[in-house]
Structure formats: structure tokens, C-alpha cells
Amino acid sequence: MMLGAASTISLVKSNGENLGHFSSPAVSPVARSSKAVTGGRNRLVAAEVSKSTNHRPTSGVVFEPFEEVKELMLVPTGPQESLARHKFMDETEAAINEQINVEYNVSYVYHSLYAYFDRDNVALKGLAKFFKDSSQEEREHAERFMGYQNMRGGKVKLQSIVMPLTEFDHPEKGDALHAMELALSLEKLVNEKLLHLYSVAERTNDVQLTDFIDGFLKEQVEAIKKIAEYVAQLRRVGKGHGTWHFDQALLA
């Protein structure tokens, strides 16, 4: 290996006085290159350390999913237990089954009203269509609650349905007004039952259920407003010819 000669440096004052000579050891090109490479590596390592430091959690809390899953025992082993059930209380499950029964009972009454107004000696086709659609809607609500019950890992338990009335004529109000006032009362009753179910969900801290019920509550207040207007209109037109015009408007 060849080493370069030592370099001599002279220091001279501005007035020309010579301060002497001294020598500095020569640095070979290989040494300079090695130093440069070493310096670059040091900078690279420092950058990597800085980068890894920036990604450390500032809170000091480390999530250890495997250990936490072992502690929580989230997957049941019993053959009759739901695998999907999580944070779903027995009280909530029972309240949903009650709401399913409410929806089916109201649907049954509306179906009876449809059959009444579809008779050949009543023949109010608009009211028959209105109550048939209403019956279908309430049945769909019951099925939506059944689907939600299964989704949360509960068990659907259908209960008995009360036999509805078959005659709806009224000597003073007439059948149309009497039936619509009954429908308004039923819609308000369903709203009360939904609010009760909502209170159960809040009491059990079930935010998923409260979010699910919100859509039903919006539909319910809209239905109450619509049927309330029908009651007001039927009270104005009275029985007879006015009821027939109201019925035709429902077909439009």
C-alpha cells in the first residue's frame, strides 16, 4: 500500500513574520473513502433509529390481541349457544320478542280491516287497499325484528296473536271514520312499544339496538301524522257520499 507524504504547512503573519512550520500526517485516499463510507453508514443507522422511534406508541399501551382473547373467552363452546352473541342481554332479547308480537297483532287487525272493506256490500276499495298495504308493512316490521334478533344471537319466540274484530260499522261515525280512528290508536300504541324497547336498549347500554330502532321511530311518527290527517278529513266529510269521495282519493 502506498501512503502519501506528510504535508508541511507554514504559518505567516500578515506583516510577513514566519511563525514556523509543522507537519500534518497524510491521509490516504483509501482512509478518506473508508471514513466517508463509515460516516454515511452512521447517518443511515441514525435515520433508521429515528424512524422507528417515531412509530412507537406515545401512550405506552401495547395491544396484545392473543392474550386478551384468551382472557375474554369470546367464543362459546356449548352446542346450543350462539356464536354471534356479544353484549346482548336477556332482557333485550325478551323485549324484541314482545315487539315482534306487537307488530304481528297490529298486522292481523289491519288484515281484518282489509277483508271488511273488500266485501261486496261495503265495496270501499281505497280503504281496502290502504289497510292491506298497512298489514303488509307491519308484517315486514315483524320480520325485520326477527332478522335483527337472529343477527345478534338471540332466539325468536313467536307468541299468540289475538283474534281481531270482524265488524267495524259504527252507528254515529260510520265504518270508515271508526276504522281510521282505530288505526290511529294502533299506530300510537306501536310507537309507545317502540319507545319502551328503546328505553330497554339504553338501560342495557346496547347502542346497536338504539341505532336500529331509530329508523322505526321515524317511520312511526310519519304514519301517525298521515293517519291523523285522514281522521280529520273523514270527520269533515261525514258518512255517505263524502266517504265515497275519500275512498276514491286513496286509489289515486
What's the pLDDT score for residue 73?
63
- Domain enclosing residue 114, as ranges: 91-251
pLDDT greater than 50 at residue 49: no
- CATH code, 227: 1.20.1260.10
In a domain, 20, yes or no: no
151 contact partners, CB below 8 Å, separation of at least 6: 84
Annotated binding site: 103, 138, 141, 187, 220
- pLDDT at 48 > cutoff 90: no
Residue 36 clears pLDDT 50, i.e. is over it: no
Q: Which of 118, 143, 148, 142 is nearest to 131 (CA)?
A: 118
With 0-12 / 13-18 / 19 or more C-beta atoms within 10 angstroms meaning exposed / middle / buried, residue 69 is exposed
61 inside domain: no
Task: With respect to residue 97, please indicate whether it lies within any of the assigned structural domains.
Answer: yes
38 lies in some domain: no
Binding positions for Fe cation: 103, 138, 141, 187, 220
Q: Identify the pLDDT of residue 46.
A: 46
Confidence label for 234 from pLDDT (cuts 50, 70 and 90): very high
Instruction: Note whether 24 and 2 are within 8 A (CB).
Output: no
Q: How many domains, in total, are found in the chain? A: 1
Specify if 135 maps to a domain. Answer: yes
The HSE-up count of residue 131 (CA atoms within 13 Å, CB side) is 26
pTM given for the model: 0.72
Distance (Å, whole) CA 237 – CA 240: 8
